[in-house]
Amino acid sequence: MDLRLRDAVVLVTGASRGLGAAIALRLAAEGAHVVGAARSKDALDELAERGDGRITAVEADMRDEDAVAGLADEVVARHGRIDALLNNAGVAPAGRFADQDPAVWKETMAVNVIAPMLLARAAGRHMIAQGGGRIVNVASTTGVRGKPHLVAYSTSKGAVVRFTEALAAEWAAKNVQVNCLAPGAFRTDAQRAVLESPDLLRRRVARIPAGRIADPAELVPLACLLLSPLSSFTTGATFVVDGGESGKL
């Protein structure tokens, strides 16, 4: 299927590894011009080398509001437009809620909620001016159903889901579609502790009806579809991709 992404300009945050890197590479393979943003310059440069000249690396810290707010303008300055935005960067601090420093909450909200808001606002202004665009926010299954020892993360991702729905309703008439992905357990650095422990992995997999941890490539097609013009009547939706875990009673 032709996703009509050739020469589309897409900004991907958290692009240096995991889900963000996998999506960025597929977008490039589809012919898009990808601007990949993350803190890890070395990993971004490696990603750009794999992108056949279609991935531009931009070092950016999602905790820096001024830098985040200027990313969309930088993309437009480079490419003349911005067609799609993938808000993928995030942090997931684990710990007992009663013992967690409020500073952890402030950083979690800064990266997981404030940064996507700033990026969506800046990118959306360009999209509206050019006649439309697409925004995909990456939440988590913990944003749909809260998880113990990930209270700050669950709260932030729940906010991302509500943000997606509200912004989609506000910008639908502007031809800007806003959707959300809620991944479950994927083979990324975020699951490293689980993947490296046979006992933790066994217990984690036991909660997933599909009986396994997913590969990042299994999220890529849906993400690219939502970032493409083919999703022009899909907005305000949250797509849970978790092997049936959230639906398990």
Please identify every residue annotated as catalytic.
153
Which residues make beta-bridge pairs with 33?
9
Phi-psi region of 18 (alpha: psi -120 to 50; beta: other; left: phi over 0): left
Number of Cβ within a 10 Å radius of residue 94:
14
Q: Tell me if 138 sits within 8 A of 183, measured CB to CB.
A: yes
Q: What are phi and psi of 154, to 5 degrees?
A: -60, -45
Query: By CB neighbour count within 10 A (0-12 exposed, 13-18 middle, 19+ buried), where does 46 fall?
Result: middle
- The sign of the torsion formed by the CA atoms of 196, 198, 203, 207 equals positive
Q: Tell me if 41 sits within 8 A of 59, measured CB to CB.
A: yes
- Neighbour-count burial for 160-187, b at 16+ CB within 10 Å, e otherwise: bbebbbebbeebeeeebbbbbbbbbbbb
Q: Tell me if 186 sits within 8 A of 215, measured CB to CB.
A: yes
First-residue to last-residue Cα distance in the chain: 36
